[in-house]
């Protein structure tokens, strides 16, 4: 069985792995690093980015904003009520057109997990994230926060300290009008946090504004087959579920339209499909082995121009030149599959990948 290689947690890891400054750290921590940090950033850009053809390129931030807008327009041409939820890069909400295009957003590590799972996010980082997320709330958008309050990446342990962290994350998130969830980094657990159990959806969730809780589980638990996974999610009672469009991430194991309809009917809630737009994944239907046949993380001759180097922290995941029309066309094909399945919306990961290309 193919293993889904990496999801939401990779966004944070990618920022450090590739040398580009994290958006919140760059604002509140990098000043203390002085000239050494600026010199390193300049070196990374000149030595690594310019050879990739980025010098003189249109602002990567603007390119990502335009890409998310294009995703939203493509989806809503088929389904006007289709939800679009980018994950992370909340600073992009300062752009009015970006804000108008999205239904809401997801944000990792607001309170726990920014540097290490189970560890509190630095206070200054949290403050900046909250300031950016508050902009979405003020605009009437649904904000989902995902915090990794458990130290284990796979199994949530509800010990006293973990429960205390979780309760604090829920309280702080809810107080600002966000919808919180705490789980494990690998997103392979249907985590129901004690004291935060979902209530039955009666009547059914019809509007995004009705969402009061959500589940973020992208891959099945160890030893769990397809039917057991679907049955457990259907019985969970969450208002909103973010999951993969496929049981194991591959094209062969795509969920059927019938399975999605059954799942939505049982939940009386809404379903979002995960979609990475800032990295390519070598277990997806579009991947060709010849693109990196020797598995050295460097695209081989004949690989598409949009394919960049592998993310060293997440084997099998590759940065992409996301502004390339061929990559964007492939993403739209992927989106068409999700639309055909009957999902209510899409959850866009690696939106913050634009930071890799910012000098």
- Tell me the pLDDT tens digit for each residue of 213-251: 999 999 998 889 999 999 999 999 999 999 999 999 999
List the beta bridge partners of residue 85.
347
**Best-predicted range by mean pLDDT (14-23, 30-39, 318-327):** 318-327
Distance CA 145, CA 170 (A): 9
Q: In what order do the strands lie in the sheet with 240-243?
A: 83-86, 345-349, 270-276, 240-243, 214-216
List the beta bridge partners of residue 348.
86, 275
What pLDDT digit, counting tens, does each position of 254-273 carry? 999 999 999 999 999 999 99
Query: What's the CATH fold of domain 9-357?
Result: TIM Barrel (3.20.20)
- What pLDDT is recorded for position 233? 97
Instruction: Report the chain's mean pLDDT, rounded to a whole number.
Output: 88
List the beta bridge partners of residue 261.
none
* Nearest residue to 89 (alpha-carbon basis) of 8, 170, 168: 8
Distance CA 352, CA 86 (A): 9
| Percentage of residues in the chain having pLDDT higher than 70 | 84
Domain layout of the chain by residue ranges: 9-357
- The residue whose two tokens read 């979780």 is 166
* pTM summary value: 0.88
Q: What is the mean pLDDT of residues 181-186?
A: 97
- The residue whose two tokens read 């057109």 is 97
- Give yes or no for residue 15 having a pLDDT over 90: no
- The residue whose two tokens read 């997103």 is 187
- What pLDDT is recorded for position 5? 44
Q: How many CB atoms lie within 10 A of CB 248?
A: 17
- Give yes or no for residue 8 having a pLDDT over 80: no
């Amino acid at each position: 069985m193919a293993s889904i290689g990496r999801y939401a947690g990779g966004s944070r890891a990618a920022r450090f792995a590739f040398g580009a400054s994290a958006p919140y750290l760059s604002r509140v921590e990098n000043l203390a690093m002085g000239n050494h940090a600026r010199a390193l950033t300049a070196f990374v850009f000149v030595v690594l980015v310019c050879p990739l053809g980025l010098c003189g390129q249109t602002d990567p931030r603007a390119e990502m904003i335009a890409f998310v807008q294009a995703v939203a327009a493509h989806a809503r041409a088929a389904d006007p009520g289709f939800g679009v939820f980018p994950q992370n890069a909340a600073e992009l909400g300062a752009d009015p057109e970006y804000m108008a295009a999205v239904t809401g957003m997801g944000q990792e590590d607001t309170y726990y997990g920014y540097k290490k799972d189970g560890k509190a996010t630095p206070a200054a980082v949290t403050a900046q994230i909250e300031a950016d997320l508050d902009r979405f709330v003020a605009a009437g958008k649904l904000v989902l926060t995902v915090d990794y309050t458990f130290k284990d990446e796979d199994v949530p342990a509800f010990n006293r300290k973990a429960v205390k962290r979780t309760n604090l994350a829920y309280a702080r998130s809810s107080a600002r009008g966000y919808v919180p969830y705490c789980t494990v980094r690998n997103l392979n657990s249907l985590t129901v946090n004690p004291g935060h159990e979902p209530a039955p959806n009666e009547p059914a969730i019809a509007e995004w504004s009705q969402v009061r809780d959500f589940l973020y589980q992208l891959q099945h638990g160890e030893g769990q087959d397809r039917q057991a996974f679907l049955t457990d999610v259907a019985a969970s009672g969450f208002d909103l579920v973010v999951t993969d469009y496929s049981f194991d991430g591959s094209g062969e194991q795509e969920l059927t339209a019938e399975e999605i309809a059954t799942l939505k009917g049982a939940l009386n809630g809404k379903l979002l499909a995960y979609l990475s737009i800032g990295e390519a994944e070598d277990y997806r239907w579009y991947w060709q082995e010849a693109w990196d046949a020797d598995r050295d993380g460097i695209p081989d001759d004949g690989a598409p121009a949009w394919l960049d180097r592998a993310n060293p922290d997440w084997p099998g995941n590759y940065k992409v030149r996301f502004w390339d029309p061929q990559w964007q066309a492939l993403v739209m094909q992927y989106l068409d599959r999700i639309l055909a399945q009957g999902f209510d919306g899409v959850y866009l990961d690696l939106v913050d990948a634009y930071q890799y290309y910012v000098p």
